[in-house]
Structure 1
Amino acid sequence: MTLRALLSLLVPLCLMTACARPLPPGVTELTYATPYSPNHPFSKADKAWMEFVEQKSQGRIRIRPIWSGALLSSDMSMEELRHGVADVGLITPIYVRGGTHLIRIQTGFYSGADSIDSQLKLYRCIAAANPQIGHELHGLKVLAVQGGSLAGIVTTDRQVRNLADLRGLRLRAPTELLTVLESLGADPVNMPMADVYSAMAKGVIDGVIAPGDTFKSLHFAEVASHYNNLAIPRGAYPARAIGLTRWNRLSEAERAILTQSQAVWEDALSREIHAALVKGLEEAKAQKVTISGMSAQEQARFDALYLRDSEGNARSLSRFGIDGMQAFRTARAAVRGRDDIQCGGKI
């Protein structure tokens, strides 16, 4: 049995039995599980949330973090939270193999939402107008939605100067970009970000669609030589949640504090993501990574392909009985201009 498998058996048992610390009367402890280390930018934002909750509750709510994937898995975290493996956790519905079709596809509807604030607004417009989002999150109470820095093109040996240079490159990319990259002649693949470093180092892939923060946070500056800052839209998605069964066992006052903490958590994530981007680009420059851009004409061409592909992906959801076009129209109606997002636009 592997160490990870052993931990997956022992840690939940430990949490439920003698390993758990005795709590003073009137104190509620919530376990928080994440696949990231304590020093990752996401984890720094998680710590800010923990501090807020504990201070706001005057110590009546304690958060016990479990870092580095010791409790929740990346691809099954939603199901694990539903079953109480942890109380609160980092979730990645965009990587779940099934059951989150619209949440995954809607991340490709964000053309024009260039800032994290606008991404979060647009996600809420889509979620409010499309009940399917709620169906895919059944059994969970979302505590934070996460956006991100716009992605670019990180490559190991071949420098990308224009869209034609993508031809033949094997690139790790998120689901919503697979077909648009294929249309440009690339060979896109989807894999967990945790596997990308080794895949680039071994030559399994030629690069990755990723934001500049990854040069430091994921050490891509050690294995990549080039970065093209083509502005590739980034979608928002629910990223922190508590199991609904555990949520319902909390008192009304405890639920009120966690509801209030959502804005704190999302603001902390935004700050840490921005800070990580600055540090990542500094690291890239220090490691002599070549940084280049696309012409305005090439950017416009990519944007048109992105929107065309987004609409096609939305239509494809009909095979699951999901009205993806309703969500796509909601998104396009909400985007009035760059970072100008208003829900309820005419569809």
Structure 2
Amino acid sequence: MRLVALLLAILLAGCERPLPPGTTELIYATPYSPGHPFSRADQRWIEFVEARSGGTLRIRPIWSGGLLSSDMSMEELRHGVADIGLITPIYARGGSHFLRIQTGFYSGADSIDAQLQLYRCIDAAEPQVARELHGLKLLAVQGGALPGIVTRDRPVRTLDDLQGLRIRAPTELLSVLDRLGVDAVNMPMGDVYSALAKGVIDGVIAPPDTFSALHFAEVADYYATLAIPRGAYPSRAMGLDRWNLLTEAERAILTESIPVWENALTEEVQAATERGLAEARRQNIRTTTFSDAEQHRFDRLYLEDAEQNARALRDVGIDATHAFRTARASVRGRNQISCRSPT
């Protein structure tokens, strides 16, 4: 299907009028639909680039997975399937071991701004980041709203309350939840609504925007605000070969657009979170809050697991322990980030 979509895009491009002299068109590809919060941020970036260039740089978006896949997008960009694209190193089939594991180093970086700051501390300290991004020009780093615990019909106020529950969780949390007696499962988020409705699972680790975007408010009654860390990661990139073909002025505009794109992503994620919380209130979702002691207990378990995962990368020839320690030294307090080397 992807090959058919690519051929169709090429045919359509051939039917278009020639570009005006001095105009460069770049194809941007994303797996998300135009209405998704990520895509709204993308559209704001497109508007900036085209306005800043006076129309000499045009961005042609291909939405809804027409060109790039989730698990091979980095390699596809390297080979010119699209000029610029949304990348997901955390889902890549190979070649991004460190980028995937470093997302577990962010305990204490609760805000998106703090996540981006901490990513840059890790990037500056760890050459492996550049190795795994070889062949790509990074155009945006992305953080996200912290997930909590959505449960179907049982409130959760302590970590002990999780024992025996069957909860859908991302891969990086499975071992942590297992230590807490949770029957942790991984399934596509698209299957969670029906699984909650049928009682196949008792809950899901998810951010508040899912109450609106995925309609979880219709099939769950409770939300626990345990601050479950999430990391920042490279999310928009351009193939380096295509980057090198641009003029110096064009590269300058795209470089200038990096903070514009990152700010747009932050604002759209925050707006989606507010919409989700509003929907949860409208649907009378009952919210519980973990005590500071329980939060600290979870943070300790989470960081123990993250350090263990960092050490495990030695099996593939990557020493991620220094990066883990750099991240921990750089978190001076909740959302207080200052790049520091480990002592």
Partner of 1:34: 30
**RMSD of equivalent CA atoms:** 1.7
Structure 2 CA distance for aligned equivalents of residues 14 and 333 of structure 1: 51
1:217 Cα deviation (Å)? 2.1
Matched, 1:218 2:217: no
The CA deviation string for residues 149-194 of structure 1, in whole angstroms up to 9 with x for no partner, is 1110112233322211222223232232221111101122334434
Partner of 1:109: 105
What's the secondary structure of 1:231's corresponding residue? coil
What's the secondary structure of 2:332's corresponding residue? strand
**What percentage of residue pairs aligned between the two structures are identical?**
68
CA contact (8 A) 2:27 2:59 kept: yes
Deviates more, 1:124-133 or 1:162-171: 162-171
Out of 129, 134, 158, the position equivalent to 2:130 is: 134
Structure 2 CA distance for aligned equivalents of residues 80 and 169 of structure 1: 40
Structure 1 CA distance for aligned equivalents of residues 56 and 267 of structure 2: 27
Partner of 1:83: 79
Matched, 1:119 2:130: no
Matched, 1:162 2:158: yes
CA contact (8 A) 2:325 2:342 kept: no
Partner of 1:14: 8
1:203 Cα deviation (Å)? 4.2
Deviates more, 1:240-249 or 1:49-58: 240-249
Out of 48, 64, 68, the position equivalent to 1:68 is: 64
Partner of 1:44: 40
Structure 1 CA distance for aligned equivalents of residues 48 and 241 of structure 2: 23
Partner of 1:179: 175
Out of 221, 229, 234, the position equivalent to 1:233 is: 229
Out of 13, 20, 23, the position equivalent to 1:24 is: 20
Structure 1 CA distance for aligned equivalents of residues 134 and 333 of structure 2: 33
Letter in 1 for 2:219: V
Out of 273, 277, 301, the position equivalent to 1:281 is: 277
Structure 2 CA distance for aligned equivalents of residues 230 and 337 of structure 1: 17
Matched, 1:331 2:294: no
Matched, 1:99 2:95: yes
1:120 Cα deviation (Å)? 0.3
1:148 Cα deviation (Å)? 0.8
Runs of 5+ unmatched residues, structure 1: none
| Aligned CA distance change for structure 1 residues 326 and 54 (closer, same or farther; 3 Å) | same
> Structure 1 length normalisation: TM-score?
0.93
User: How many pairs align?
Assistant: 341
Letter in 2 for 1:69: G
Structure 1 CA distance for aligned equivalents of residues 50 and 220 of structure 2: 41
1:199 Cα deviation (Å)? 4.0
> Structure 2 length normalisation: TM-score?
0.94
Runs of 5+ unmatched residues, structure 2: none
Partner of 2:310: 314
Structure 2 CA distance for aligned equivalents of residues 247 and 192 of structure 1: 34
CA contact (8 A) 1:156 1:207 kept: yes
CA contact (8 A) 2:6 2:66 kept: no
Letter in 2 for 1:217: A
1:202 Cα deviation (Å)? 4.7
CA contact (8 A) 1:161 1:292 kept: yes
Partner of 1:152: 148
Structure 2 CA distance for aligned equivalents of residues 152 and 47 of structure 1: 29
CA contact (8 A) 1:104 1:176 kept: no
